[in-house]
Chain A
Amino acid sequence: MARDVNVSRVVRRTKRKEKVVMETELTVLEAVIADMQDSASADLFTSAL
């Protein structure tokens, strides 16, 4: 079943400059889109090989 991405919620959340890392209220897809606008978020994964 398709789930709409709430773009306004993603933008609002990203603008707040919060670390959208965990315990977010965003769905997976919304959170990934928000992360893609925050280049620093990729650093979280650099420790795992």
Chain B
Amino acid sequence: MDALQRAGWRPLPFTQFVIKIHSRCNLACDYCYMYEMADQSWSSRDKVMDSATMKATIDRIAEHARVHRLPSVNAVLHGGEPLLAGTSWIDGFVADLRGVLEPDVQVAVSMQTNGTLIDEDFLRTAAERRIGVSVSLDGAEQDNDQHRRYAGGRGSYQAVARGLALLASGPHRAQFRGLLCTINVDNDPIATYEELLRWRPPAIDFLLPHGTWSSPPPKRTTDEDHTPYADWLLEIFERWYTAPSRQTRVRLFESVIRMALGGQSMTEAIGLQPARLVVIETDGSIEQVDSLKAAFDGAPATGLTVRDEPLDRALEHPSVAARQIGIEALSEKCRACSLRDTCGGGLYPHRYREGSGFLNPSVYCPDLMKLINHIVGRVRADV
């Protein structure tokens, strides 16, 4: 860090605040980075953020925005399952957050939920408080329920579908932000996409399952000619790209297209743009990007809390810096790669290997290369 700062580098302030308002979940999805992977810190956390931590969280965000003169911030209500905190808690939190920050700082509020607890009462509050809602869904019932189940083994699809129907088709559709789908290459890609499309989502985000070189994702072998994730995604890409009109936005694909046209990525999963996201846990701990939980126990920890330290202290953390310094944080192989700027080494946690840490290409390197080359080739042929 000292060397970086001596060279003139300065961290960029956080603009996106992921707030863990409830640390437990009513589902027990077997691929979840929160509960099923290396980091087990959830088991010692407060279940719901208490009022003192809530106030400290809001004050620290306001302080950060004031110090850095941020005109706007994004607050993402997250968990566990955030709706376990209850509608009235969420209502009070968002009212307090906006009450402290606005009108000087505009606050965009969104929530990532498993959808099972969405009801009319919550959606009225979401509309009144301008909370955007994204729902996790992996496809059709039999596909979704392979992994997204209750602790007893029962599938979650029916409950999600009830919630999604209220959100996607009811009077509060304006709050619907999109669907988050974790890729399962055993499922048919076109059937998955068309099932998601059935809900008319404004956007879909396909997530690569979390994994590392030390704990590889399903079907990701050491054979570099084997690209199950690129093959799966490219079937959807062609279906999406060749439709007569855009039926939904797909963040991963659009990020590659934007970069091919000289713009910036919209996801930390690819590209070299600095990550400006910080996580605040229910007990007030300040943590790094959540998906680091897949790497090793304690990986996201900074040792800081909103009660004791300003968020600026987290900007000094080496791993936060690593996600902001672009090329400097890449492995030798990535630096020499022709796709370096578009790929950006992939999602930071996916680079982890015991012994060498994060100074590696992504465990998804062959898939990312095939995916990016194909999309960039398609776009260049069309413009």
CB neighbours (8 Å) of A21 from chain B are: 202, 249
Nearest CB in chain B to that of A25: its residue: B245
* Contact yes or no, B245 A24, CB < 8 A: yes
Nearest CB in chain A to that of B181: its residue: A48
Main secondary structure of the interface of B (DSSP, over half): mixed
Shortest beta-carbon distance from B15 to chain A in Å: 9
Cα-based distance from A31 to B103 in the complex (angstroms):
32
Cα-based distance from A31 to B209 in the complex (angstroms):
28
Main secondary structure of the interface of A (DSSP, over half): loop
- CB of B291 closer than 8 Å to a CB of A: yes
* Contact yes or no, A45 B246, CB < 8 A: no
Shortest beta-carbon distance from A31 to chain B in Å: 4
CB neighbours (8 Å) of B177 from chain A are: 44, 47-48
* Contact yes or no, B382 A44, CB < 8 A: no
* Contact yes or no, B111 A36, CB < 8 A: no
CB neighbours (8 Å) of A24 from chain B are: 245-246
Q: Given A22-B248, A32-B258, do A43 and B379 touch, yes or no (CB 8 Å)?
A: no
Cα-based distance from A49 to B277 in the complex (angstroms):
10
* Contact yes or no, A42 B200, CB < 8 A: no
Q: Interface-forming stretch among B3-11, B147-155, B259-267, B280-288?
A: B259-267
Nearest CB in chain A to that of B264: its residue: A42
CB neighbours (8 Å) of B261 from chain A are: 32-33, 36
CB neighbours (8 Å) of B246 from chain A are: 22, 24, 26-28, 30-31
* Contact yes or no, B110 A29, CB < 8 A: no
Q: Given A5-B383, A22-B247, A31-B246, do A45 and B267 touch, yes or no (CB 8 Å)?
A: yes
Cα-based distance from A29 to B261 in the complex (angstroms):
10
CB neighbours (8 Å) of A2 from chain B are: 381-382
Say which residue of B110, B243, B254 sits within 8 Å of A47 (CB atoms). B110
The 3 A-B residue pairs with the shortest CB-CB distance, nearest first, are A47-B110, A48-B205, A31-B246
11 A-B pairs whose Cβ atoms sit less than 8 Å apart in the complex: A3-B382, A4-B382, A22-B246, A24-B245, A27-B245, A27-B246, A28-B257, A30-B246, A35-B249, A42-B266, A48-B112
